[in-house]
Amino acid sequence: MQRKRKSLAITRAMLFVLAVAGVGAILATNRGSGTAGAATPAQAPDPRIELGFRIAPVPVNLMGRDRNLVGLGSYLVNTIGCNGCHTDPEFAAGGDPFMGQPERINTTNYLAGGVEFGPFKSRNITPDLKSGRPADLTFDEFLQEQRTGVDQHKLHPDMGPLLQVMPWNYFGKMQDSDLRAIYEYLSAIPHAEPVKK
């Protein structure tokens, strides 16, 4: 019996040493390939991506774009309220949830701007017809505008260089990856024009 226990203890110790050596080899291999710690199963995809596609009120063009960024961008844009300031009117006829109606977004003028805030009007943030860029901004310009509030188009020089209505001070706290996702989504939606008044 004593001999059997000793043999079992030796076997366990050898298995432990082999297991530690195996894990060490896996980690060393992953470190070399830039995937340190990848011995765990792949992370589940971010559920906000698919939800973003489900709640997008307009079709998106994914050609040449990162699908995950577009989906996440849709989630962010359509849940943080961009539509409320950048679509006029925000809801289609008979689709105003604040009137107890089933929500229907105004897709004709979706994110085309034109909402008045005193002397200011919200911008058209859909892709520009010539450049294809949201609000005709490069990503670096968009990022700069969100981080600093400096109006890249300088539409109100008499009011100073900063955007006066856009809550850039909040958006500026977002991660670059979130702002990139928003930009990718805005690049993927159809161009729209503000309502004629």
The answer to whether residue 195 is domain-embedded is no
Please work out, in degrees rounded to the nearest 5, the angle formed at the alpha carbon of residue 71 by the alpha carbons of 67 and 73. 115
Helices H / strands E in the chain, number of each: 7, 2
Residue range 93-117, pLDDT digits in tens? 999 999 999 999 999 999 999 999 9
The letter for the amino acid at 9 is: A
Identify whether residues 27 and 75 lie together within a single domain. no
Q: What do you get for the CA distance between the two ends of the chain, in Å?
A: 95
In the predicted structure, residue 14 carries a pLDDT above the cut 50: no
Identify whether residues 65 and 148 lie together within a single domain. yes
Domain boundary among 43, 58, 74: 43
Contact 125, 86 (CB under 8 A): yes
Residue range 109-139, pLDDT digits in tens? 999 999 999 999 999 999 999 999 999 999 9
Identify whether residues 96 and 28 lie together within a single domain. no
Residue 4's domain comprises 1-43
The answer to whether residue 196 is domain-embedded is no
Number of domains the chain is built from: 2
Cα gap 88→86, rounded to integer Å: 7
Give the predicted TM-score (pTM) of the model: 0.77
Identify whether residues 38 and 95 lie together within a single domain. no
The letter for the amino acid at 73 is: G
